[in-house]
Amino acid sequence: MNFIKTVNTRFGEEYYTLRHPSGLKIMICPKEGFHSTYAVIGTHFGSINSTFIHNGATVKVPDGTAHYLEHKLFESEEGDAFSRYARTGASANAYTTFDVTCYLFSCTERFKESLEILFDLMQSPYFTPETVAKEQGIIGQEIKMYADNPDWKVNMNLLQAMYQKHPINTDIAGTVESIAEITPEILYECYHSYYNLNNMILCIAGDVDPEEVLEVADAKLRRDEPVQTESVFPEEPYEVGQTYIEQTLPVAVPSFALGFKERAGKEFASTKEMLCTSILLEAFAGESSALYRRLLDEKMINSSFGSEYWEGCGYRAVFFGGESKMPLEVAEIIKEAVRELHQNGIAQEEFEIAKRCVYGRIARSFDSTFSIASTMINDEFTGRDSLNASEQIAAITLEDVNRRLRDQLDPDNCCLSVIKGIEAADEQSEGAD
């Protein structure tokens, strides 16, 4: 059983890939001389996968189940995995997104022992009525905490307003009411549907020997028979559900998120499409762009302003956001700039500058074991090849980026989300009187 070796010739990076007999796909990027090692294992099960077909039956689970399962998997009959990690000196964590759940650790020593713990917690689910009920209070507090977080709420409110049917319009952690419906049986159903090693990926970056990883995998991983699980999503209209949504929270400066909804199918954007989008957004709203300089010079935004592309199965959207005392005015300026962009396209000089900026970010990412491993696992889930994006970006032309623009940034299909401060809301109320 041998690893397949590939090389990124531009940066001299080596990658080793193997499908282990257990079913697990393993990817390793050795970084000789690096101080820390980062490992992440994940499954394509996130908050939007709340309806799925498993063993021929359609299953509908409560909102927040994927996040709840993430919390509970750290427990076993032998105790808490965090306690075991503490003894090896590793820093461990986990996260649930709309699309995936991942478990990770970083360490500077005793790597093999930490990897053994990671494999153990993936294969030893332990859910009882008592332990599941105990977690409801902990996650309930987390839900309430995020409900008061303006950075989180401005984006979640935007998704709620933009998407009419797709489950991305629901908070990743669910609600206090929805998590109260979660039972051990539901968690086991989700675990056996999605936490099959044939559907999971392990990515490691750091000063490690691939053969050492294989030795631990051979000793710890049991063979999983493949399972077929299909996530089910409702058909989402192209049009946004609402064009404006606002909420009042105790913030010193209002924050906003302006989202442009895009047509989306089951497929993720290709590597080339993602690179074109990155260049497009850098040229249009990056720190060297005319739009950014204008908004900053006129003190309509601050350094928190930025753009982001959100995409997954059934959803795609571009977000612009940050803090602003004039969010409505900023949104109108961005939409007008978008109209001009569609009319004139990206200029050659702006394209060249943006392309160099994106290339620079790619080059710098190879200096971080976190970035390398995170990129590897994201690429496996999306079917992209960002680790070789440095090769592809050289071939991208201005025509490619302007062609991509035609599918993005529809100024007539966007939504603005605003988080207002209490004082601003009171002033607006007084003005209405």
> Which secondary-structure segment (H or E) carries 290?
helix 290-297
> Which secondary-structure segment (H or E) carries 250?
none
Closest CA to 353 of 312, 313, 401, 307: 401
Judging by beta carbons within 10 Å of its beta carbon (0-12, 13-18, 19+), is residue 188 exposed, middle or buried? Answer: middle
Round to whole Å and give the CA distance between 363 and 388.
11
Residue with tokens 């307003």: 161
Judge contact between 228 and 69, C-beta under 8 A. no
Neighbours of 394 (CB within 10 A): 10
Annotated catalytic, 246?
no
Judge contact between 28 and 210, C-beta under 8 A. yes
Round to whole Å and give the CA distance between 72 and 428.
45
Joined tokens for residue 424 = 């601003």
Joined tokens for residue 390 = 């440095």
Pairing of strands 200-206, 25-30: parallel
Phi, psi at 8, each rounded to 5°? -85, 100
Q: Which of 13, 14, 70, 142 is catalytic?
A: 70
Annotated catalytic residues are: 70
